Amino acid sequence: MAEFLNNILFIFQRLSWLSAIDILLVTLIFYGLLYWLRGTQAMVLLRGVILIVVALVLITSLVNLPAFSWLVQNSLPALLLSVPVVFAPEIRRALERIGRAGNLPSVFNKTTHPEFERTIQTVVTAAARLSARQHGALIILQRLDNLDEYIQSGVRMDAAVTPELLLQIFYPNTPLHDGAVILAGSSLVAAACVMPLSSSGILNRSPERQMGLRHRAALGISEESDAIAVVVSEETGAISIAQAGRMIRRVDSERLGNMLMAILRPAAGEHTPVWLRRFMPSNSPRKDG
């Protein structure tokens, strides 16, 4: 024990402020990596890789196996090269979010204050009425990222957004009720748009595995862009909101309005970078009663 304490004391004596900064930077990198991967399928893969590496180190250290040790040493570089391939989607999304930091204000910040509040109130009112009637809906609010690719997959409208228009679009069995509507500022740009489905596996691991394509599309577009997705369940009428690859389930109309206001409009006189306005907690999706 005395020798162990002496070794610890020796290590601390050699530490300098530069060494402390070095350790802090490495810690921040690992923290950021785990933060971006939390709650995703990549975390499961990372856990598996770590377990395999630990098992191989223990086997080669405790048992003298020359042939096995040679195989592990020669295959390790190939395993390291496979990491970017396995985690390619997560790496791409992380780089995209870094690239958005400090970008120009979104289309919602370019609208006047009354128009901005009117658009938010329209979405909240429509979502509440759709929820009460259990009419499924998917409403996408465009921010910095261009969504022309998805707009072209739907029906161009370029109409002033109103609760009645959203209710009519998502009325069951109407021509435009399938797919999503895309809002840019105070305008409803297109309806019946096809959204990318989520590839993260978050919904597959949650209790609500029976969730339909609307929830997967809402999560998918939030993974592919910085857009905000508001989705209404056709089975239960529950309202959910997705942003930055995270989904919060079962929000009421008041909370929905507060969240949209907080995300889409910075405080007066501020131009806060997008990466500082991330709101999603680490909560896992809750059961959609």
**pLDDT confidence of residue 101:** 54
Residue 48 sits in the same domain as residue 147: no
pLDDT, tens digit, 9 for 90 and up, residues 158-200? 999 999 999 999 999 898 988 999 998 889 999 999 998 886 6
Domain count, the chain: 2
In a domain, 108, yes or no: no
137 part of a folded domain:
yes
Q: Which residue has the tokens 């990372």?
A: 46
117 and 11, same structural domain? Answer: no
d(CA 146, CA 225): 8
Q: Which residue, of 35, 68, 100, is where some domain finishes?
A: 100
The verdict on 82 and 120 lying in the same domain is no
User: Which letter, b or e, does each residue of 80-106 get, where b requires 16 or more Cβ atoms within 10 Å of its Cβ?
Assistant: eeeeeeebeebeebbeebeebeeeeeb
CA distance 102 to 93: 16
Query: Which residues of the chain are under the pLDDT cut of 50?
Result: 104, 267-289
C-beta of residue 272 within 8 angstroms of C-beta of residue 258: no
Tell me if 106 is assigned to some domain.
no
How far apart CA 198 and CA 216 sit, in angstroms, is: 5
Backbone φ, ψ for residue 54 (5° rounding): -65, -45
Whole-structure pTM over 0.85, yes or no? no
Is residue 287 included in any domain, yes or no? Answer: no
Q: Looking at the structure, tell me whether residues 130 and 220 fall in a common domain.
A: yes
Residues 169 and 240 in one domain: yes
Q: Is the distance from CB of 233 to CB of 203 less than 8 angstroms?
A: no
Q: Which domain holds residue 58?
A: 2-100
d(CA 214, CA 118): 25
